[in-house]
Structure 1
Amino acid sequence: MPRAVPAPLRRALTRTASRAVHRAWNRLQEAGAVTRERPGPHAFRGIGTGTRLAFPQGTVFGAPWIELGAHCVVGAEVTLTAGMMPGLDLGPDPVLTLGDGVVLGRGSHVIAHSRVTIGDDVFFGPYCYVTSTNHSYDDPHEPVGKQWPRAAPVEIGSGSWLGHGAVVLPGARLGRNVVVAAASVVRGDVPDHAVVAGAPARVVRRWDADGGWQPPLRTPPPVPVPEGVTAEQLLALAEGDALVPEPGTLEERPER
């Protein structure tokens, strides 16, 4: 029977093995990171000075049509794709562009089947998803995943911030310094200096040069109209005149 390893020695061996694993992983992360000087297997259209893609990278293809600005930080397991599949000729222009100082949080995806432009100093939280393509569902008899997708360019303005798990759909155009709340789903146009939240996202705050941060303008709820009121009476009310009911149309109210 082999002799049991004494507990103090077993703990020491475990600590030593743990340190060795972490040292090896740190060396692997350093060696596997992608930079301008060490592009690894990816022939990007351009990588700016100081930009770094952490190891391990997520799915990357269409690199010749992906342009990364200077001093970008791309977290681990981030997917960057240009085109619907690898090996396509996408023409002379870039399809996916990151400006300077962009930060993409761990596990985020940027899917550029058509043009996706991300401005300078845009920050993504973890696990954000930006896509220029979505499945169509026009044919009710065909599985949605087999129907030809629709594509529309996406723009995210400089200085914007996307919270954890935010989704930006095809055709979205975000202005400058836009804040997207966590788990929001953005489509359509978002003005400069706005905060959006929800699914679908709605503007919940906007910056006004005179009054600072303001809630969005809201349309007042419709005023209920008593049964029997005529168009002439509604017009008189809108012009500030008193409503005078026609005989037999409104119940008389007792004097108080």
Structure 2
Amino acid sequence: MFFGLFGKGFNKFLLKFLRNTNGNIGLLLRYVVLKNLCKSLGDNVSIQPGVFIFNPDKISIGNNVSIHPMCYIEGAGEIEIGNDVSIAHASTLISTNHQWNDLEKPIKYNKETFGKIVINDDVWIGCGVRVLSDVTIGSRSIIAAGAVVNRNVENNSIYGGVPAKKIKEI
């Protein structure tokens, strides 16, 4: 595509520049830019205004995915988002973590670790959810608003709370 002619650096600049562009033109331009930056990007993907995406080259997004405003997605440890996924407002996917085992250094200067996040098909992530590294969310699952997901989620289940726990099967 046209934006692919300018290289990854220019596309990363464009993504930042277009982050808060409203309307259909903003949706289209973010999609075109991310198509050039992401590991893979499916059809009918809606990245709403105000979404922060880092390390898109390690992020795969399936078909029919919506990511709503003010989400923060850090792909350094790799993220796979399946088909028919909705990620509601102000949610975070963070595939990194800090170690704290070097007592000679402040925690913020200890090494960073990376862990993959997998969100399978037909998942709804509610508002303000935090999905941490090394987590797989099973197909046809719902994560309740405000939950912190720090372990795997079973298929066909609703999880909620801090930390997220199984509420029921669906």
TM-score tier by shorter-chain length is 0.7 to 0.9
1:66–1:82 CA contact under 8 A, matched in 2: no
Matched, 1:206 2:169: yes
For residues 31 and 158 of structure 1, what CA distance do their matches in structure 2 show?
25
Q: Residue 94 of structure 2 is aligned with which of 131, 140, 143?
A: 131
Residues matched between the structures, number: 150
> Per chain length, whose mean CA-contact separation is higher, i.e. which structure has more relative contact order (CA < 8 Å, sep 6+)?
2
TM-score, with structure 1 as normaliser: 0.54
Q: Secondary structure at the match of 2:54?
A: strand
CA deviations over 1:196-254 (Å, ceiling 9, x no partner): 111111001013xxxxxxxxxxxxxxxxxxxxxxxxxxxxxxxxxxxxxxxxxxxxxxx
More helix by share: 2
Match of 1:230 in 2: none
Q: Following TM superposition, by how much is the alpha carbon of 1:65 offset from its aligned partner in structure 2, in angstroms?
A: 3.9
Match of 1:72 in 2: 45
For residues 145 and 174 of structure 1, what CA distance do their matches in structure 2 show?
28
Residues 38 and 73 of structure 1: is their aligned pair in 2 closer, same or farther, counting only changes over 3 Å?
A: closer
Matched, 1:147 2:140: no
TM-score, with structure 2 as normaliser: 0.79
- Which residues of structure 2 form unaligned runs of 5+? 1-20
Residues 158 and 37 of structure 1: is their aligned pair in 2 closer, same or farther, counting only changes over 3 Å?
A: closer
2:31–2:47 CA contact under 8 A, matched in 1: no
For residues 37 and 22 of structure 2, what CA distance do their matches in structure 1 show?
24
More strand by share: 2
For residues 176 and 169 of structure 1, what CA distance do their matches in structure 2 show?
18
Aligned positions of 1:43-82 closer than 5 A: 44=34, 46=35, 64-82=37-55
- Which residues of structure 1 form unaligned runs of 5+? 1-27, 47-62, 84-93, 208-256
Calculate percent identity across the aligned residue pairs.
Answer: 20
Q: Secondary structure at the match of 1:138?
A: coil
Q: Following TM superposition, by how much is the alpha carbon of 1:100 offset from its aligned partner in structure 2, in angstroms?
A: 0.6
Matched, 1:29 2:29: no
Matched, 1:104 2:67: yes
2:66–2:86 CA contact under 8 A, matched in 1: yes
Q: Following TM superposition, by how much is the alpha carbon of 1:124 offset from its aligned partner in structure 2, in angstroms?
A: 1.0
Q: Following TM superposition, by how much is the alpha carbon of 1:33 offset from its aligned partner in structure 2, in angstroms?
A: 1.3
CA deviations over 1:63-117 (Å, ceiling 9, x no partner): 634432111111111011117xxxxxxxxxx510111111111000111102200
1:169–1:187 CA contact under 8 A, matched in 2: yes
